[in-house]
Amino acid sequence: MPISFDDRVISTLCSTSKLYKQNYVDYTYLIVSKSFSNEPYYIIEMHDDNFLHLSGVQTSLNASVFFGKCIDDSLSITDIIAPSIGSKYYKGTIRRKINVLPDFVNGFDTSYSVQENFNKNSITCNFASANYNLTIGFLKVHESVPFTLLKGNCLDNSLAKPIDVLLRKPRTDGIFNEVIIGNPIIIKEFITLIPALKSIVSKDLY
């Protein structure tokens, strides 16, 4: 029997929440690009309460409680406004989100590019990163937090540039100690260009 769209939404939210925690909530990221002009680099932190906003669903649950129910597989269709009874716009929004969530939660890789001053319709972000399938936009508060998840690459091709360096560290660690994108030569180049990085990047990386 074919799975209903409501059931597919719940299944996708529960499965992707675990990878979201594993790849994002448990880590802090450092992103650097030669294209950046507003800031020399950005620190990215994604929290459990950001997941609700990225999912597109509406619920009366607290965002952290919602995420916890996704993590322990206890989320049910009665916990959210079911897409089947929502507006056409609401259902379409959720469809677009759950189509790209599985790709997004797998983590960043070299297929991603980046653009500062991202604007799309009424959405404005300090920067956004995208691959061929999705765009994730960030707002800089203290660290940069996820603000929007869009289907497709929505960056301006004339402004988007490669991510030169992407590092991460376990959230509780003091220095960045793992390379996702980059190599010792280019990391050392940015350490020289941006002295503030020296105190937060492990010497073992360059």
CA distance 85 to 82: 6
What the block records as the tokens of 156 is 């301006």
CA distance 137 to 24: 15
The pTM of this model reads 0.93
**Over residues 87-113, mean pLDDT:** 96
Strand segments (E) across the chain:
27-32, 42-45, 113-120, 123-130, 134-140, 144-151, 161-162, 165-170, 178-181
Complete DSSP assignment for 133-156: SEEEEEEESSSEEEEEEEES--S-
pLDDT in tens, 10-20: 999 999 999 99
Q: Which pLDDT band holds residue 147 (cuts at 50, 70, 90)? A: very high
Question: Which residue intervals of 105-195 are DSSP H helices?
Answer: 184-193
Per-residue pLDDT, 1:
66
Phi-psi category of residue 179: left, alpha or beta, with phi > 0 → left and psi -120 to 50 → alpha: beta
CB atoms under 10 Å from CB of 119, counted, come to: 13
pLDDT in tens, 36-70: 999 999 999 999 999 999 999 999 999 999 999 99
